[in-house]
Amino acid sequence: MEKVAPEHVREQIDRLTTSQAFRNRLTLQRLLRFLGEHSLDSAAPDLKEYTVGVELFGKPESYDPQADPSARVQLGKLRQKLDEYYRTEGASDPLILEIPQRRFALHTSRRAADVPETPIAAEPVRRGPATSLTLPVLLAILAAIGWTLFLTRNLSPSRSASSHQGDVVSRFWHAVAAGTKPTTVCLATPLFLGVAGNRYRSPRIETFEQAQSNPEIRKLLGVVGGGPLTREYDFTGVGEAIAAFLFGGLFSRMNAPVDVRLEPALSWEDIKTSNVVFLGSTKFNQKLREIPLPTNFIVEPGGIRNLSPLPGEPAVYSATRTSAGQVIEDYALISRIPGLTPGLTYYLFGSRSSYGSWSTAECATKPECLGGLMERVSGGGPDPDYFEIVARVRYRDRVPIEVSYTAHRVIAWRSSVP
């Protein structure tokens, strides 16, 4: 990513703080400037909620962020104001300032200089059920399933080699296997826009509200002759579809009934009353962004960010590519975290790509792969209740051929969610 000069960042912050969106929002202006100056100090450590509370908001040294969430509340308001600004009066600004989810940080990027005449890929409308897939995607899924079965038959160790793992798969999925609570598998679902008999997808648009005020979409509507703009959520990634297939077989063998839903169909009632398996990036799992997760690793466009690196660990786990740009090694997250309601468990399989969902799901259904990861997490003792694992994934022609341990964090969680 191109480095932006400090004076340009400060100019953009001045533009924001004097805008209509930030008018009379003195607290948000102060927070924006505070985050901005910190982001320009390359040697400064990542900001913590406690530091912001004490240094910016004047909290006492006894300040407990878990008991007083006011700093997080202001951060959320600032993120909303930035989104509002860039959807309206800042729609053509050359610099974009963003706040990553669950981080007290400010990221700066340059807007693309030119918008092509037809900047968004289009494809014909397909009628059918909410989980329909295009023919190329379906063929890719069938091919991938064939690869999975081939790898399972030919690359799995012998029964005696894997027997020492015990029933690690059942231990990992104990909340599902117990059957005391319902389980829902949620597939990350990108937003497509429906207009004039076609579907359109832009990587720069994540919500329907953004689309309604986006200049690219307004221009596109003019080209195709206008018409109502509609939400279209009937596509999911190849990796998420394969992962759902793998989990369906596993849960069937466990006699554990589950529902499978696209993210827009997942209700907050489901989240409060069910164990949920979240498949795919948080970018396409909108509700996952709003759950107060005790995370140490976050999936971002540049890789998996390590919020508190231990000695020898990088701040970001990034992909390795060939000279032609093909990914041959990447990273993914496998997490087991507490649910919003006591007694519930959430499982997260996140990556920058759909193929990361496939690789981690395959690992979580195979004792020889999952056992290697859990052995590192448990350290030879009992399995912790909640944890996050960063896994390294090797690919060949976009097919995951190896998943191995990279890092982990055990999550110590109290009985109630703050």
Q: What DSSP letter does each residue of 190-244 carry, written as one string?
A: --EEEETTEEEE-TT--SHHHHHH-HHHHHHHHHHT----EEE-----HHHHHHH
Pairing state of beta strands 327-338 and 345-351? antiparallel
d(Cα 192, Cα 194) in Å, to the nearest integer? Answer: 7
| Tokens read off for 38 | 């910190």
d(Cα 33, Cα 37) in Å, to the nearest integer? Answer: 6
Q: What confidence score (pLDDT) does residue 142 get?
A: 47
C-alpha dihedral sign at 364, 391, 297, 205: negative
pLDDT digits (tens, 9 = 90+) for 122-167: 333 333 333 334 444 444 444 444 444 444 444 343 333 333 344 8
State whether residue 400 is helix, strand or coil: strand
Q: What confidence score (pLDDT) does residue 124 get?
A: 39
Phi, psi of 405, deg, nearest 5: -70, 140
The model scores a pTM over 0.75: no
The answer to whether residue 114 scores a pLDDT higher than 60 is no
More confident residue, 298 or 111: 298
The answer to whether residue 396 scores a pLDDT higher than 80 is yes
| Tokens read off for 170 | 């059942």
Taking residues 376-402, report their average pLDDT. Answer: 90
More confident residue, 198 or 185: 185
Q: What confidence score (pLDDT) does residue 390 get?
A: 95
d(Cα 163, Cα 144) in Å, to the nearest integer? Answer: 27
State whether residue 64 is helix, strand or coil: coil
The distance of Cα 255 from the centroid of its chain, to the nearest Å, equals 29
Contact 100, 88 (CB under 8 A): no
The answer to whether residue 317 scores a pLDDT higher than 90 is yes
d(Cα 76, Cα 166) in Å, to the nearest integer? Answer: 44
